[in-house]
Structures are given as C-alpha cells and as structure tokens.
Structure 1
C-alpha cells in the first residue's frame, strides 16, 4: 500500500510530477483541487469568491480526510493544504510527503504563463508576484519543511524519487 502526497507552492509542478510519478509507479493520480471541485460542483475560484477562504479550507480538510483513506495513490495537494488545521500531520501519518521546493523566481515565471485561474495571485505583476511568493513561503515553510522528503529540482528523475521513498 502506498500513498504519496506532493506538497508545495502553486506552480511548483505537483500535478505534472504527480501524473508522471503515478504512471511510473502504477498508482492512481488525484489532484486534490479537482477532487474538491467535483465534490462541491464549483471551481476553486468560485468557492473562494462565493464562500471565502475559510470555507474553502474546511472543504479542503474534508477532502484530505477522505483522500487519506485511498490506497496506492499519488495526491497533488493544493498549495495551502499543509498549512491549515493539522493537515501536515495527517499527511505525514497516512503517507509519504514530498515538498517540491522550487525557486520563487521560477514559480513566478510559471504562474505568469499559466492559464489556470488562481484567486490568491490575480492581477499581480512579476515583481509583485515574486514578493508575494517570498512572503507566503516564509509563512508556509514551517509546514512544508515537515515533509518526509524535499526536492529542489523540477526535473527530478522518477527512478531516483521512487528509490528515495522506498528506502525507508
């Protein structure tokens, strides 16, 4: 039985790497934000706009509790997921956590090119975005750094990654 949680800032590549890793390891892939959208019949930006962030975080926690019972799965979490309630503890207890620690300048570049609607960064210039990412990471790192593993290269080798997870 294997359960892998990918955590890290939006744009770090959790979904992209998650899909590749799941395929490589013969596991199911679940994008937590998509899971929340299906359960609530609303997009994440809609939930933020209509219900506010606090309500979104409650829905996210409920989704995490459900997903933590799934087997043989790679879960790409939302960027803020580990930072609320005791979510990081739940993830660490029920699976292997991998923090994708990618440089803020790389993140900003990716997020500016991204077509995905992201409520927390709407309308920011590149400079504002880098400053916002730095600030948010300062707050979130105490949670992110509790992950079992950390990768700093977006182009990590899947074979190396599986060896890292399986050696424990």
Structure 2
C-alpha cells in the first residue's frame, strides 16, 4: 500500500493521513513536517530565506525518497502535485487520493491557522475565500488526476478506506 493524500490546504490531509495510517498500521509521513525536520526551520522561514523554488525542489526530492519504501501513507503539501512532475510520479508509484471538501469548510479551517501557512498568513480573513477559490482553480487540473476523489466533508473512516480499497 502506497498512498498519497493530496488537496488544498485545510482539506484534511494531515487529519485523514493519521487516521488511515493508524487504521492500516502503515508508516505515516506529513511531507511538510519531513521538510521542516530536514531543514530545521519552519516552512514560512524556508520560503522567506531560501525561496519557493528551493522549497519545491526539496519537497520533490523528499517525496521520491519516502516513496522508496514498501508501504506508506504520505500527506502532501497543497502545492506538491503541481510542481516537478510530482503528480505523474505519485500516480506511477502509488494511489493518489484527492481530499476535496467544500470551499467554505477549507476557508473556515484556514482562518484559524493562517499564521502557519506562508501563502495566506498576510491575508485578511475577508480576502481568504477569493484567494482559496483562485488558487484551487489553478491547482484543480493536477488534483483531478487523482485515482480516488473524496468530495464530501462528512465521510467516515470506513467509507474512506472502502473508496481507496476499490481504486
């Protein structure tokens, strides 16, 4: 089992990643956390000091490194599928799952943790919806290449695992 969870920030990738890895007793990695540990600095600091290009190269390298394992579950950053041919790589090496809850649900979650996210930390709450809508539209062509798409915010662990098992 090699599963990549993808989706926009606030979609629930980290939450479901932990749930599913626990359920399947599989090694779990939050790709952003792996990058933070490797770089010994917050993602916002990596973006600020080394730039997004550096971050995306590091992200792609670590994604490929982690994928060498026999089984795993990886929660990817929201932009991971959109750079460095990562989406093709993930589809070639495992099962991609796009977690796609309603836009409003993601925006509500993001309002509570803006400070942790470099792309939105300086946005006013009233500008967040438009930003997420625009950015999601840019990333949608990559996300839509997923093998499994979860478009409900009210899904149980059983339903989630069933969809993946039948992919």
- Give me the TM-score of the superposition, normalised by structure 1: 0.94
The alpha carbon displacement at 1:116 in A equals 5.2
Provide structure 1 residue ranges, at least 5 long, that are not aligned to the other structure: none
Residue 105 of structure 1: aligned partner: 104
Contact 1:14–1:76 (Cα < 8 Å) also in 2: yes
Aligned to 2:32: 33
For residues 15-164 of structure 1, what are the structure 2 equivalents within 5 Å?
15-114=14-113, 117-164=116-163
Aligned to 2:3, the other structure's residue is in SS state strand
Kept in 2, the 8 Å contact 1:109–1:126? The answer is: no
- On the 8 A contact 2:102/2:152 being kept in 1, the answer is no
**For each residue in 1:120-165, what CA deviation from the matched residue of structure 2 results, as whole angstroms up to 9, or x when unmatched?**
0012123211000010011100000000011112332222222222
CA offsets 1:22-53 (integer angstroms, 9 cap, x no match):
11111111100011111122221111010111
Cα distance in structure 2, aligned partners of 1:55 and 1:41: 14
Residue pair 1:98, 1:151 contacting (<8 A) in 2 also: yes
| Deviates most, 122-131 or 29-38 | 122-131
Aligned residue pairs: how many?
167
**RMSD of aligned residue pairs (Cα, Å):** 1.3
Task: Name the SS of the counterpart of 2:98 in structure 1.
Answer: strand
How high is the TM-score relative to the length of structure 2? 0.94
Partner in structure 1 of residue 10 of structure 2: 11
8 Å Cα contact 1:12/1:107 also seen in 2: yes
**Mapped partners of 2:154, 2:102: distance in 1:** 13
CA distance in 2, matches of 1:133, 1:167: 30
Q: Is the deviation greater in 22-31 or in 155-164? A: 155-164
Q: d(CA) in 2 for partners of 1:157 and 1:4?
A: 18
CA offsets, 1:93-130, max 9 Å, x none? Answer: 11111001122221111111126511100121232110
Specify every segment of 5 or more residues in structure 2 that has no aligned partner in the other structure, as ranges: none
